[in-house]
Homo-oligomer: A and B are copies of this chain.
Amino acid sequence: MTKLDETDRKIIRALQREGRLSNQDLSQRVNLSPSPCLRRVRNLERAGVIDGYAAIVDQEAYGLPVTVFLQVRLDRHSQENVTAFETAVAGIDEIMECYLMAGDRDYLLRVVVASLADYEEFIRRRIHKIPGIASLDSSFAFGVVKRSQVLPG
């Protein structure tokens, strides 16, 4: 993929807002006829700019009202510890996001669970089992003020 022009960006913006837009509607919104529009979408998908599509689900309605941000520090940053932690993270469903951070906290995780009791269980049975963790710091969210799927620009 060489570069994104304004039409590509329009397509991306539209699909971030409405991921199931039909190609016809999409093509109208970006002032293109259906076939070049579809081709651009497929190119963006092939190039990995569009990485997939997802249904956005209401956590509470789904029965998972509790969001916790968990900051993790490892004791030593040996390759072992790092890969052990990161592969463990990949396999734990409650961890929706994990970022490698600058500063004194190594990782920031967003964790989603049904209750506080489940969170305790989650820490005990999932996190404490991972070797090489030096410290944990949990911050609870009261609620979501904003959540957007549309990147700026």
Which residues from chain A sit less than 8 Å from chain B, CB to CB? 1, 4, 12, 15-20, 47-59, 61-64, 67, 69, 86, 89-90, 93-103, 105, 107-108, 112-114, 139-153
Contact = CB atoms under 8 A, between A and B. Distances in A.
A18 B45 CA distance: 13
Contacts of A96: 147-148, 151
Contact of A19 (B48, B53, B63): B53
Nearest to A71: B139
Given A52-B56, A62-B151, A63-B153, 19 more contacts: A4-B63, A12-B55, A16-B55, A17-B54, A19-B19, A20-B20, A49-B57, A50-B57, A51-B57, A53-B53, A55-B149, A64-B151, A86-B145, A93-B152, A95-B148, A97-B144, A97-B147, A98-B146, A99-B141
Contacts of A149: 52, 54-55
Contacts of A97: 144, 146-148
Nearest to A41: B55
A144 B109 CA distance: 10
Instruction: Specify which of A54, A103, A141 lies most central, judged by the most chain B CB atoms within 10 Å of its CB.
Output: A54
